[in-house]
Amino acid sequence: NAGVMQNPRHLVRRRGQEARLRCSPMKGHSHVYWYRQLPEEGLKFMVYLQKENIIDESGMPKERFSAEFPKEGPSILRIQQVVRGDSAAYFCASSPLNQGAPQHFGDGTRLSIL
Amino acid sequence: KNEVEQSPQNLTAQEGEFITINCSYSVGISALHWLQQHPGGGIVSLFMLSSGKKKHGRLIATINIQEKHSSLHITASHPRDSAVYICAVPSIQGAQKLVFGQGTRLTINP
């Protein structure tokens, strides 16, 4: 049973480009969470999704960031017109349907903006 | 907002030593998580506990709900235990939204 799969592991973009980060949850998991870890800082919640629904996006920056979890395929975190401050590690986690179940984390995508 | 404080921020010890990492939070919770982040960056969920004590191998996690405090212990520490250990609790805005401590960077020297 594969764990949470994130790709790419490393992504380099120039300022102004778009970054697309993908997350495939564990088999049987219908909840996906995205977290961001800025350099030398702790993890911060960004967004919580279920299939085709955004449940809580209170941690998402107001502009340039969007997330989706379509009926088919992985969850996508999209950052438009990237800036240097977007450089961070982005982690995805998933959990099954039942409330309070532990979240399983992926290995993260390290985004570097040149 | 639930505030999470971990101590110490950094801890260096010799192989074989007993390790304790502490976590305090400000608002009552349903469960607390301990995570491990290795130098390569990946995150592993170690424990989720809501009361008492849990043990897995050389790792032991305890929680005191009344005192809003949890500890992670490592017995017979080994250099491969070197990692950042992170405590996380649910936000008061939603149980699925985790609030994280800053992490404790543990280094075990041979």
pLDDT tens for each residue of A23-78: 999 998 989 999 999 988 889 999 999 988 999 999 999 999 999 999 999 999 99
With 0-12 / 13-18 / 19 or more C-beta atoms within 10 angstroms meaning exposed / middle / buried, residue B67 is: exposed
Nearest CA among A7, A14, A35 for reference residue A82: A14
Place of tokens 């590690």: A89
Residue of chain A nearest B88, judged by CA positions: A43
In a mutational test of the B interface, the residue from A5, A41, A45, A53 whose CB has the highest number of chain B CBs within 10 Å is: A45
Residue of chain B nearest A3, judged by CA positions: B44
Question: What is the secondary structure of A4-61 as a DSSP string?
Answer: -EEE-SEEEE-TT--EEEEEEPPTT--EEEEEEE-TTS-EEEEEEEETTEEEE-TTS-
Which amino acid is residue A8, in one-letter code? Answer: P
For residues A97-102, average pLDDT: 69
pLDDT in tens, B43-96: 999 999 989 999 999 999 999 988 999 999 999 999 999 999 999 998 877 667
Q: How far apart are CA B55 and CA A27, in angstroms?
A: 26
Place of tokens 């995205």: A34
**A55 lies within 8 A of chain B by CB:** yes
CB B104 within 8 A of CB B12: no
B100/A43 CB distance under 8 A:
yes
pLDDT, position B2: 63
DSSP state of B15: T
